[in-house]
Amino acid sequence: MRRSVILLALLCGAVVVSLAAKSQSYVESVSDPKEWKKLLRTRTNILVLYTRGKVKQEINLVFTEVSRELRGTATLVHIDCSGEGKKLCKKNKVEPVSYVLKHYKDGDFHKDYDRRETIQSMSTFLRDPSGDIPWDEDEQGVDVVHINDVNALTKLLKKERSFMMMFYAPWCGFCKRLKPDYSMAATELKDTHTLVAMDVNKPENSAARIKYNITGFPTLMYFEDGAPKYTYEGENNKAGIVAFMKNPGKAPEKPKEEVWSDTPSDVIHLTDATFHEFVKGEASVLVMFYAPWCGHCKRMKPEYTSAATLLKERGIMGKLAAVDTTKETKLGTEFSIKGYPTIKYFRNGEFAFDVSSAREKDKILEFMADPKEPPPPPPPEKPWSEVESSVVHLTDENYKSFLKKKKHVLVMFYAPWCGHCKKAKPEFMNAADRFSDDPKVEFAAVDCTTFQTLCSTNDVSGYPTFKYFNYYKNTKPYNGGRTEIDFVKFMEDPENPLSGSPPPPPSPQEEWASVQGGELIHHLTEATFDTFISNKETLVMFYAPWCGHCKAMKDDFGQAAVELAAEGKMGVLATVDATVERSLATRFQIHGFPTLKFFRHGHLVTEYNRSRKSADIVGFMRNPPLNGKDEL
C-alpha cells in the first residue's frame, strides 16, 4: 500500500512538472532603455510585442507558445507602452493603438512583422526573418491547396479523385517564377479542378520526394484515383496549366530536332569507322566533338557550319569536321572527351592540340588561316589561406575560440571564384597589415565553399559578406566601402553606431557629372516635377542607377542634350531616378528601365519608343508628336 502511494505521488509530481513546462513563458518584459540597449547588443533575432494596456489573450497565447518553441533561436520581448515602458516606446518611436509587432536583427530595427499571427507563421518567420513569405501565406496563392506533410497528402489522395500537384523547393528560381501563374490557374479553376502544392525540400517530406522520384524542381504531376497518371510537360504558364487541366493527357510530343549529320553543309561528320582514315588524308583538320542535347553545342553549330562554307569559298586550307560522341563512343573514349563541345586540331593525321577559343565563325576562320597552339592556361590561383598576410583564416575548429578572445574582429566571408571578393582581397589584406601591431584588432576570413556551416550560421547569402565581432557575442554587419581606407576607418572606431554604414548614394547631379552634356540635363524630383514640365516640352528618362541599359544610354542622352542646346531648341531632356522617386514611378506606370516619356506643357503625350542613340533622340525632339502617336 505504501509503495502504491509513493508511486502515485511520483506520477502526480511528473504531471505537475510537465504541465508547468508547457505553461512556461520565455517572453521577456522590458521597460528600461538601458536594458533594451543591452538586449539589442547581445541578441541578434528579436521580435517585440508593443502593447497599450492589457495584452489580448489570442496574441498573448501565440507569443508565449512561440517563445517556448524557439527558445535559443529567437528572443521574444513584451514592452507595455502605457506603463513603465512608455519612455522606451517613445524612444523607439512606437505608438500602438492596441498592439504592434516589430522585428530587430543584428542590433537594428529590421521590419514590421507582416505575416499571419499564428504559431506556425511566427515560428517560420523567426527561423528565417529575411526569407520570402511562405507560399501558403501569400494571398495570391489562396486557391492553391498547400500540403504541409505526408499525412495531409495521404488524406488528400483518399479525398480527391484527381488533382495537379506541384512539388517545389522554396529556394528554386524556376519555382518562384511559376508560382504566380500556378496560383492564377488555381483561381480560374477553383470551381472545377484542384491544384495542390507541396514543399518537398522539408526534411519531413522527403518520403514523398523519394516515393514520386522528384529529382528536379518544379515537378508537376497529375494524380488520378490516388496515383500519379501524367507528368506535366506543357508550358510553364497559366494558359498551359489551365488547358491541360481541362483536358488531361500526355503532352504532345515535341518535334524532333533534325540530326546535324543529315543536314547538308560543308562540315564533315565522322564516325568511329571513318575518323582515322579521313584525318590521315588531311593536312589540317579542326574537329568538334559534341552532344546533340548540349546547349553550348547548339549555339556553336550555325557558327561552325557557316565557317566551313566560308573556309571553302575563301580557299583557306583545312577542313572542319564533327563527331557526335553520344553515338561514336569509341572516339569519345580515345580522346578523353569529358565536356561539350571539345575542339581538337589535327595536323598531318596526328592530334596536335586543343583549341578552346574557336567557337565563333570569325575566330574559327582566323585560327584555320594560321593554326597556332594557344598559350598554356595560367597556373591555378594559390588559395588565399596560403598567401602570407596579416589576415587570419578561420575554420570550423578555430572559429569560435579565436573570436571569443578578440575585442575587435572584422570577418570577410568569401568564395574563391567571386570577382568582388578577388577585388576586395588586396584592400582587406592591406588594412590588416596596418593593424598588425595592435593585439586588439584582427582581420579574418572564412572560405564559404569549404566551411559552409559557418557561413550558413552567419546568414551569408552573397559574397563577400563582412561582419564585425566583439568577443564573439556582439556582432553587427559591415556595409561600408571595400577599400583599404574604408576598412581602416571602420576598425579605428568600430563601436561607433555610424561606422560601417553604406556611404550615401551619389546625387543624380554627381552621378551624371562625368557625362558630356550632363550639366544640360535636368534632374527632377517629386517636389520639382510638375512645376518644371508645366511650360515646356520635356523628354524624361526614368532610370535606375544599377540598370545596365540606363548606363549604356547615358552618353547618348548627354550628347543629345548638347546638340539640342546648340540648335536652340525649346525642348529639354530630364531624368528621374525611379528608385528614389517611387511616387513618380507609380504615377507614370514605370515597369522597366530605362523608360522615356514625352511631356508637353504638363501633359503626358506619348512614350518614346525609338532607338536610344543620340541621333534618334534629337530627331524626335526636333519634330515631336502632336498627339499620342509618334510618326517616324
For the question of residue 172 being annotated catalytic, the response is no
- The strand order across the sheet containing 474-478 reads 392-393, 441-447, 408-414, 465-470, 474-478
- Count of residues making up the chain: 632
Residue 330 CA to residue 289 CA, distance in Å, equals 12
- DSSP3 helix / strand / coil % (the chain, rounded to 5): 40, 20, 40
Residues ≥6 apart with Cβ < 8 Å to 300: 288, 290, 341, 359
Residue in this structure with the C-alpha cell 577559343, named with its chain if needed: 357
- Give me the phi and psi of 121, to 5 degrees please: -65, -45
Residue 562 CB: number of other CB atoms within 10 A? 18
Per-residue 3-state assignment (H helix, E strand, C coil) for 434-500: HCCCCCCEEEEEEECCCCHHHHHHCCCCCCCEEEEEECCCEEEEECCCCCHHHHHHHHHCCCCCCCC
Q: Are 56 and 96 in contact (CB under 8 A)?
A: no
Instruction: Give, as one character, the DSSP assignment of residue 193.
Output: -
Please name the helix (run of DSSP H) or strand (run of DSSP E) that holds residue 561, with its range, or none: helix 548-567
297 is catalytic: yes
Contacts for 81-85 with beta carbons within 8 Å, 24 or more apart?
81/50, 81/51, 81/52, 82/51, 82/52, 82/53, 83/31, 84/31, 84/32, 85/30, 85/31
Is residue 547 flagged as an active site residue? Answer: no
Residue type, 71: R
Pairing relationship of beta strands 319-324 and 99-105 according to DSSP bridges: unpaired
List strand residue ranges (DSSP E) for 58-144, in order: 75-80, 99-105, 108-112
CA distance 505 to 317: 57
Hey, what's the cell of 239? 494558359
Give ∠ CA 596-599-604 in degrees, rounded to 5: 90
Out of 81, 89, 297, 455, which one is annotated catalytic?
297
- Candidates 194, 202, 187; CA nearest to 164 is 194
Q: From CA 606, how far away is CA 627, in angstroms rounded?
A: 7
Q: Is 421 a catalytic residue?
A: yes
Catalytic residue among 81, 89, 175, 421: 421
Dist CA 339 CA 356 (whole Å): 11
Task: Tell me the HSE value of 383 on the side-chain side, using a 13 A CA sphere.
Answer: 9
Catalytic residues: 294, 297, 418, 421
